[in-house]
Chain A
Amino acid sequence: MRFVVRRLGFFLVTLWAAVTLNFLIPRLMPGNAAIAMMSRYKGHVNPQAMHALEIAFGVHNHQSLVSSYFTYLGNIARGHFGVSLTFFPDTVAHQVLQALPWTLALVGITTILAFLLGTLIGLVSGWRRGGALDGVLPPLFVITSAFPYFWLALLAIWLFSLKLGWFPESGGYEVTTTVGWNWTFVSDAFTHSILPALTIIVTAIGGWILTMRNNMITVLTEDYVRMARAKGLKPWRIMWTYAGRNAILPNLVGFAMSLGFVVGGAILVEFVFNYPGVGWMFLQSVENQDYALMQALFLMITVTVLLAILAADVATAILDPRTRERG
């Protein structure tokens, strides 16, 4: 119990520090939101419009840093994130909620799949070191993980959509379909997600395989594994409950971290495939000096990463009694 309370305290202090940095850093950037919007429309907008924009965005509403900090804290506590300047006059909450399901579905599912697949491959190939599986899959996926994502994704588009025509080359769904819970849309969205998903898995899986396989090999030399063998236990039982359970511990924290970062989106994927999601929104908020959107997104990532780490700590404590005692 003391362990959990201490972790929770640590969580709150980190959260406060992150929230404060989140407030300060965007304000150190040059320019203002009206200028940022003008530069986005390279000459398409009459320069006179800047004056109108400055009035609309309230650029000249001077409020001291301290008082705006407290307003900010108050708003966060109540879950008010304000109006986005990038998507003016829409609210930050509405925009984020529109983009988030795409990110959670694509990046969330692929992160879990990559972890599960990678850990399984690592587990089996570590167990049967030097076997056929060990000779093929780990080297293959380690190589694909080293590819720059951009390059691999463009190659996949060129081969699978432009040459073979198996998958659509971009977008979250076909422009002619209507968004909604109907079969046409869902199947269309699924088809559009295959290529982005495969490219993410192929580039992400190598890391999980490598660490799991190496952990497995170290664990297999431990005395308790030899003991289990001497007792004549079935090999699969040794593999899963003796070796696997211990080998997975270091991967668990890494997995929790990457789950936390899921809400940050996958900006490269969104760029190459023109796929909807929050990653691109993130970049936009920074480029457009959209404090409200930026803060909401940063906060979302910070909180989920911290929560994921907290969960991982607790999970490790359950799996490994030693951490509890030391804690």
Chain B
Amino acid sequence: MKRVLVLLLAVGLTAAACGGHKSSAGKKGAVTISNEQGTTWTCGFNPFNSDVNFLSAGTVYEELTFVNGLKSGQTTNWLASSYEWGNANKTLTFTIRKGVKWTDGKPLTAADVLYTFNLIKKYPALDLNASWAVLKSVTQKGDQIVFQFKTPAVPYFYYIADQTPIVPQHVWSKIANPVTYKDSHPIGSGPFKMDRCSPQVIKYTKNGGYWQKGKPTIETIYYPAFTSNDPANQQLASGKAQWGSQFIPNIKSFYLKGNSDNHYWFPPTVNVSVFINQKDPILKDVAVRKAMAYAIDRQKVSEVGEYGYEPASNQTGIVTPTFSSWLDPTLAKQVTYSPAKAIAILKAAGYKQKNGQFYTSDGKPLSFTMINIGGYSDWVASAQLVQEQLKKIGIKVTPENLSSTTYDADNYAGKFQLSYNGNLSGGPAPYYELRQLLYSKNSAPIGQNATTNWERYENPAVDKLIDSYAGTADSAKQHEIVRKLQKVMVDDIPVIPVTEGVDWYQYNTKKLSGWVTEQNPYAQPAAYVYPDWAVVLLNLKPKA
């Protein structure tokens, strides 16, 4: 019996010795991405399928204009060589770049752009950003495409220009049903072509005829599928993968220590907040919400609950330092950690304290449940800290750690009292997150699904402010509107921002240069952000 075991071991060892363990890091001009998506690849690349579009938008299919979310929406002309607003910000005109070719050799023209927008009009399932909710018409004038909006629509520029990938008419017009179209062999205009795909790994190769001369300098991209975090992190630590986009526990000892080529940067983009249900009979009293905002020690939650990776938020809802230029510093300092002040507010509002616990005037305890995602260990730790901090001022919070599906269903339907939540997508300026949070059209009655205003904050004056932003491209006016929205956040406390959610980003500089850094944030650096990841890949250079 022993002999069999020995034999087995021997076979294994020989195979190991002569077999694998080659490293893709050795190949010149190749980059391997390690981004735990919790899924194997379907090998579909349909850019209008929100399940897979991050694999083709940017690299294979391109956008009209690139909008940099880390520089307050700075634009770079891409497939459009210029754009212009007119007619009181109700008309947007793009001039389409000449000399761009699809990878099958046919030229990209304004007709392709027109076709793309008519396609998502015809099939609402493809209209991922609900563009046609605000669009009136799209027409072609020579090499120009003219968008007519129903109302002034400045913030929609981001969705039209940056978030809608342009597809070739000569390919897509032959597809019977673009909604269920897999697009296994995508024909695009981007810097990379999909070379081969299996459920385990996608290989992209350089598009030799790319319109940006001399680019890309990277020859190959390997994008392995990781269903769990640990193997993905090991690939980063071992140097097999050079670009990471995920949470790594103890990053300093696991990733940085002993390797001076490994770096990370986590730029904050959107808040993780306590959403407060505005329709709850007790929580609709602003005094209770304000007391809670004073009672939460955001700094401690950031350091203990989030390993210091996610910085502490402030009550204005402006994510700093990313959007610091929009921040009103006086408002930001208004609500800071002070349990004493929290208790004073509750007492002044007529709540009675008995054995530390606060009660309403008719004897109901201030006791709430807070839903959370049980699978996110950092959120669970953070929610526990919030619970302890609120207990100190006499408000009882019971966290409910749910599966993410149940959690989302409850959020959408408003079936919660408090919700620990960082699931908004934000955008290239603070306006996007504030609009998602505060606009009443994003709300819905309890029991029906709300798109983003899950706390159900409804205020006609705020709606008017949000609408007025859409009508101005003037930066000073936009800043003034956002300042007023910050005041709403501080005065009304619709949600309590606790920490700032970040883009996860780790990179290795041994064989590649040109990475996004804090000093040069030319695009959002997480590999799952599209079309930004293509901009990062276009900037990477193999070291000599």
Q: Could you say which of A18-26, A82-90, A316-324 contacts chain B? A: A82-90
Q: Are A90 and B182 in contact (CB under 8 A)?
A: yes
A162: chain B residues at CB < 8 Å are: 234, 238
B27: chain A residues at CB < 8 Å are: 176
Q: How far is the CA of A219 from the CA of B78 in the complex (A)?
A: 80
A149: chain B residues at CB < 8 Å are: none
Q: Are B1 and A176 in contact (CB under 8 A)?
A: no
Whether a CB of chain B sits under 8 angstroms from the CB of A105 is no
- The 0/1 profile, CB within 8 Å of A marked 1, for residues 365-404 of chain B is 0000000010000000000000000000000000000011
- The 0/1 profile, CB within 8 Å of B marked 1, for residues 30-45 of chain A is 1110011111111111
Q: Are B19 and A169 in contact (CB under 8 A)?
A: no
Q: Are B528 and A44 in contact (CB under 8 A)?
A: yes
Whether a CB of chain B sits under 8 angstroms from the CB of A71 is no
Shortest beta-carbon distance from B123 to chain A in Å: 8
Q: Are B16 and A55 in contact (CB under 8 A)?
A: no
Q: How far is the CA of A90 from the CA of B42 in the complex (A)?
A: 7
Q: Are A173 and B16 in contact (CB under 8 A)?
A: no
Q: Are B32 and A175 in contact (CB under 8 A)?
A: yes
A30: chain B residues at CB < 8 Å are: 405-406, 409
Q: Are A51 and B124 in contact (CB under 8 A)?
A: yes
Q: Are A49 and B228 in contact (CB under 8 A)?
A: no
A86: chain B residues at CB < 8 Å are: 39
Q: Are B22 and A174 in contact (CB under 8 A)?
A: yes
Given known A46-B163, A168-B21, contact A39–B129 (CB-CB < 8 A): no
- The 0/1 profile, CB within 8 Å of B marked 1, for residues 64-103 of chain A is 0000000000000000000100111110000100110000
Whether a CB of chain A sits under 8 angstroms from the CB of B425 is yes
How many residues does chain B have at the interface if contact means C-beta atoms less than 8 Å apart? 80
Q: Are A187 and B423 in contact (CB under 8 A)?
A: no
Whether a CB of chain B sits under 8 angstroms from the CB of A108 is no
Interface residues of B in 215-270 (CB under 8 A from A): 222, 224, 226-228, 230-232, 234-235, 238, 270
Q: Are A191 and B16 in contact (CB under 8 A)?
A: yes
Least CB separation from A287: chain B residue: B405
Given known A174-B24, A175-B24, A176-B27, contact A289–B222 (CB-CB < 8 A): no
Q: Which of A56, A90, A120, A287 contacts B125 (CB 8 A)?
A: A56
Least CB separation from A172: chain B residue: B200
Whether a CB of chain B sits under 8 angstroms from the CB of A178 is yes
Whether a CB of chain A sits under 8 angstroms from the CB of B336 is no
Q: How far is the CA of A49 from the CA of B230 in the complex (A)?
A: 30
A170: chain B residues at CB < 8 Å are: 231, 234-235
Shortest beta-carbon distance from A180 to chain B in Å: 10
Q: Are A191 and B425 in contact (CB under 8 A)?
A: no
Q: How far is the CA of A171 from the CA of B128 in the complex (A)?
A: 33
Whether a CB of chain B sits under 8 angstroms from the CB of A264 is no
Q: Which of A37, A166, A169, A187 contacts B231 (CB 8 A)?
A: A169
Q: Are B130 and A171 in contact (CB under 8 A)?
A: no
A38: chain B residues at CB < 8 Å are: 408, 423
Whether a CB of chain A sits under 8 angstroms from the CB of B286 is no
Least CB separation from B32: chain A residue: A175
Q: Are B405 and A166 in contact (CB under 8 A)?
A: no
Q: Could you say which of B47-55, B92-100, B299-307, B338-346 contacts chain A? A: B47-55
Least CB separation from A270: chain B residue: B227
Shortest beta-carbon distance from A50 to chain B in Å: 7
Given known A39-B404, A49-B128, A51-B130, contact A276–B40 (CB-CB < 8 A): yes
Whether a CB of chain A sits under 8 angstroms from the CB of B179 is yes
B4: chain A residues at CB < 8 Å are: 117
Q: Are A47 and B452 in contact (CB under 8 A)?
A: yes
Q: Are A89 and B1 in contact (CB under 8 A)?
A: no
Whether a CB of chain B sits under 8 angstroms from the CB of A157 is yes
Whether a CB of chain A sits under 8 angstroms from the CB of B332 is no
Q: Are B408 and A39 in contact (CB under 8 A)?
A: yes
B1: chain A residues at CB < 8 Å are: 117, 120-121, 124, 133, 137
Whether a CB of chain A sits under 8 angstroms from the CB of B419 is no
B407: chain A residues at CB < 8 Å are: 39
Least CB separation from A136: chain B residue: B2
Least CB separation from A178: chain B residue: B196
Shortest beta-carbon distance from B431 to chain A in Å: 15
Q: How far is the CA of A126 from the CA of B230 in the complex (A)?
A: 41
Q: Which of A31, A133, A173 contacts B408 (CB 8 A)?
A: A31
Q: Are A43 and B227 in contact (CB under 8 A)?
A: no
Q: How far is the CA of A324 from the CA of B399 in the complex (A)?
A: 58
Given known A44-B425, A173-B200, contact A191–B15 (CB-CB < 8 A): yes
- The 0/1 profile, CB within 8 Å of B marked 1, for residues 142-158 of chain A is 00000000000010010
B232: chain A residues at CB < 8 Å are: 274
A124: chain B residues at CB < 8 Å are: 1
Q: Are A46 and B404 in contact (CB under 8 A)?
A: no
Shortest beta-carbon distance from A80 to chain B in Å: 15
Q: Are A175 and B529 in contact (CB under 8 A)?
A: no
B412: chain A residues at CB < 8 Å are: 35, 50
A273: chain B residues at CB < 8 Å are: 231
Least CB separation from B410: chain A residue: A30
Given known A51-B124, A121-B1, A284-B39, contact A175–B231 (CB-CB < 8 A): no
Whether a CB of chain A sits under 8 angstroms from the CB of B473 is no
Whether a CB of chain A sits under 8 angstroms from the CB of B356 is no
Q: Are B224 and A90 in contact (CB under 8 A)?
A: no
Shortest beta-carbon distance from A186 to chain B in Å: 10
A165: chain B residues at CB < 8 Å are: 21
A198: chain B residues at CB < 8 Å are: 12
Shortest beta-carbon distance from B229 to chain A in Å: 9
Shortest beta-carbon distance from B435 to chain A in Å: 11
Whether a CB of chain A sits under 8 angstroms from the CB of B472 is no
Interface residues of B in 1-57 (CB under 8 A from A): 1-2, 4-5, 12-13, 15-22, 24, 27, 32, 38-40, 42-44, 46, 49-51, 54
A29: chain B residues at CB < 8 Å are: 405
Whether a CB of chain A sits under 8 angstroms from the CB of B488 is no
B231: chain A residues at CB < 8 Å are: 169-171, 272-274
Q: Are A40 and B20 in contact (CB under 8 A)?
A: no
Q: Are B409 and A31 in contact (CB under 8 A)?
A: yes
Q: Are B12 and A37 in contact (CB under 8 A)?
A: no
Shortest beta-carbon distance from A132 to chain B in Å: 10
Q: Are B405 and A46 in contact (CB under 8 A)?
A: no
Q: List 5 A-B contacts (CB under 8 A).
A: A37-B51, A44-B528, A47-B424, A51-B124, A284-B38
The 8 closest A-B pairs by CB, nearest first: A170-B231, A274-B231, A191-B19, A31-B409, A39-B404, A56-B125, A89-B180, A191-B20
Interface set of B (CB-CB < 8 Å, partner A)? 1-2, 4-5, 12-13, 15-22, 24, 27, 32, 38-40, 42-44, 46, 49-51, 54, 124-130, 159, 163, 179-182, 196, 198-201, 203, 222, 224, 226-228, 230-232, 234-235, 238, 270, 373, 403-409, 412, 422-426, 436, 449, 451-452, 501, 528-529
Interface set of A (CB-CB < 8 Å, partner B)? 29-32, 35-53, 55-56, 83, 86-90, 95, 98-99, 117, 120-121, 124, 133, 137, 154, 157, 162, 165-176, 178-179, 187-188, 190-192, 194, 198, 270-274, 276, 280-281, 284, 287-289
